[in-house]
Amino acid sequence: MISKKAGFRFIPILIMGLILILLISAQASAFTYFVKTLNNTITKQESASFKLIIKNTADYDDYFTISTRDVNWMVSSEPVLGLVRAGEESEFIIKLRPKPLVVEGRTYFVPVKIKSEKTGFYFEEKEKFAVYVVSPYLKPGLYVPTVTTTVYMDKIIDPKEKVSVRLNLRNRNSRDLKDLKVVINGEIFYKEYTTHLLPLEDKTNEILFEVNPLVEPGTRTLTVTLFFEDKKIAESSVQYDILGYTDMKEVSSKKSFLFRTEERFSINNNGNKKGVAEKKFRINFFKRLFTKFSPSPNKEKGSDGKTYYVIREELGSEESLNIVIITNYRLLILIILLIIIGVVLYYVLRSPIIIIKNAEPLGKTREGVSEIKVRIYLKNRSRKPITNLRVVDTVPSIAEMDKKTRLGSMEPVNIGKGRRGTVAKWELDVLEPYEERIITYRIKSKLRLVGGIRLQSAKAKYDTRKGKERVTYSNSVNLVQRE
C-alpha cells in the first residue's frame, strides 16, 4: 500500500515526464511542407515531377530524406539529401518513375515519406502525389475532352427546405481539364463555378440551394452544362417536382372604447398554392343583434350541433382574408340612459298632486238622467306638505250645481258664472304628505240628458317652494246614457 508521502513524491516525477514528452513531440514535428504538381500525367517511360518545399520550424539545422514504401515506384530528389537550416525553408524536386508492373490507363496515389534525420519524425503524403499513367497515344491535347455527368437529387423537393444537388463528374480520358466551367440551372435556382478535373478523375460535389418558399408547385427541369475552353462538352438533365403546400397564418387585434368593440382578423396564405381560409365565430342571439361582420358570414351548424357564423374564402399564394367584427352597444346604452333620464325627470318634474275626477248618474229614468254625483279625488304623493291648494271645477251650462250641504262634504268657497258654465272653487290650507281628500258635489240637469253629458277636467292650483304657481289637471268625464 502506497503511503501519502510516497504519493506526493511521485507527482513531480509525473509532471516532469509529461513536460519531457511535450518537448519531444514539439521537436519531432518541428517542420512543415508544401507540394506543388509540375507534371503528373506521364507514360511508363517518363517520370512525374513535383516541387516539395520544406520549412524547418525548429531552432536547429536538420537533414531531410525522401522515400516511398510502394515497390512499384522509384523516387528520387534533387538534392538527394536536403539540408534545411533552422527557421528557413528549402525546395526539392521530387521525381516518381513507374516500374514495368505499373498498368497504363490508371491513376496512382504514391505514398511519399518526408523524414527528419535528427528526430526520426516523418510525414507520409499520399493524396498530393497523384500520378496518371497513360498510353503514349493518349497524351493530353491529342483527343477531345470527355466528361460524364451524373446528377443526384430528390424527385420531390420541399421549397421550405434547402435543395441538395450532388454532381458527379468523371473524366473519361487522360486529359487534364483545368478551369472546367460547370453551370447548374434548376429554373428556380442557378449556380456557376469552375473546377479542376484531373485525368481519369472521378469527383463528386454536393451543392445546397435555397429557393423561394412561395415558388409555384409543378414540374421543373435541372440542367447541368459543362464548358471547357468556351466550348460545351457535356450536358445532362433531370426532372423534379416542387411540393405544393398551404400555410395559413392568423393575426388578430382587438380594441374597445365606450361600449364599442372592434376585432380584426387577418388570415394570410404563406404557402405556394391555393387554399381555403376559414374562421368560425360562436355568438349568442343577444350579442348578434348588435354585431356587424365584414365580410358577411354564413350561418352553419357545427359537428357539435351548435350554430356558428362562418367566414370562408379561397386564397391564392400571398393573399389575405381580412375580417372586421364590430359589436356596438352604444344605441342600447343610449336608449337605457334615455329611459333612466326620463324616469328620473318624471319623478323630479311630475306634479306632487294626484287629481282624479269621476261621475255617477243619479235619478236615472227612461227619459234620461236628471242628477249626477261628481267626486274629485286628491292625494299628495310627495314627502312634503302642499300649501295654499285651490281646486277649481266647471259645471256645464246645461246643468247647475246643487248648493245643498251634505254631511261630510267639503263646501266650495266660491261659486260663480263662467264662459262655459258654473265655476266652483275649493281651498285647502295644507295637504299633508300622502294625505288624501275627496270633494263631492251634485249637479242637476235643466233638461233630461238622453244622449249623455261631458264634464270638463278639474284643476288643482298650488304654490311651489319658490312661490310659483303650478296647475295640475284631472281627467275629463264623458257620461253616456245607454238604454
The predicted pLDDT at position 447 comes to 67
* Full DSSP string of 447-465: EEESSEEEEPPPEEEEE-T
Distance separating alpha carbons of residues 240 and 98, to the nearest angstrom: 47
pLDDT over 60 (residue 125) = yes
- Contact criterion met (CB below 8 Å) for 167 and 102: no
pLDDT over 50 (residue 1) = no
Instruction: Name the 3-class secondary structure at 374.
Output: strand
Mean pLDDT of all residues in 160-180: 88
pLDDT over 60 (residue 35) = yes
pLDDT over 50 (residue 85) = yes
Q: What is the pTM of this model?
A: 0.50
User: Which residue ranges form the domains of the chain, and what is each CATH number?
Assistant: 27-137 (2.60.120.570), 147-242 (2.60.40.10), 248-330 (no CATH), 351-480 (2.60.40.290)
pLDDT over 80 (residue 477) = yes
Distance separating alpha carbons of residues 69 and 129, to the nearest angstrom: 13
The predicted pLDDT at position 140 comes to 52
- Cα-Cα end-to-end distance for the chain: 142
List the single range of 15-19, 263-267, 302-306 with lowest mean pLDDT. 15-19
The predicted pLDDT at position 14 comes to 63
| pLDDT confidence tier of residue 382, bands split at 50, 70 and 90 | confident
pLDDT digit string, tens, across residues 201-233: 889 999 999 999 888 899 999 999 999 988 888
pLDDT over 60 (residue 19) = no
The predicted pLDDT at position 2 comes to 46
| Element holding 113 (H helix, E strand) | strand 112-116
pLDDT over 60 (residue 237) = yes
- Contact criterion met (CB below 8 Å) for 64 and 117: yes
Beta-carbon contacts of 321 under 8 Å, excluding residues fewer than 6 positions away, are: 265, 266, 267, 277, 279, 311, 313, 315
Distance separating alpha carbons of residues 104 and 89, to the nearest angstrom: 36
pLDDT digit string, tens, across residues 414-454: 888 888 888 999 998 888 998 999 999 888 876 665 566 78
Q: Which residue has the higher pLDDT, 470 or 139?
A: 470
pLDDT digit string, tens, across residues 349-361: 888 899 999 988 8
Distance separating alpha carbons of residues 167 and 201, to the nearest angstrom: 14
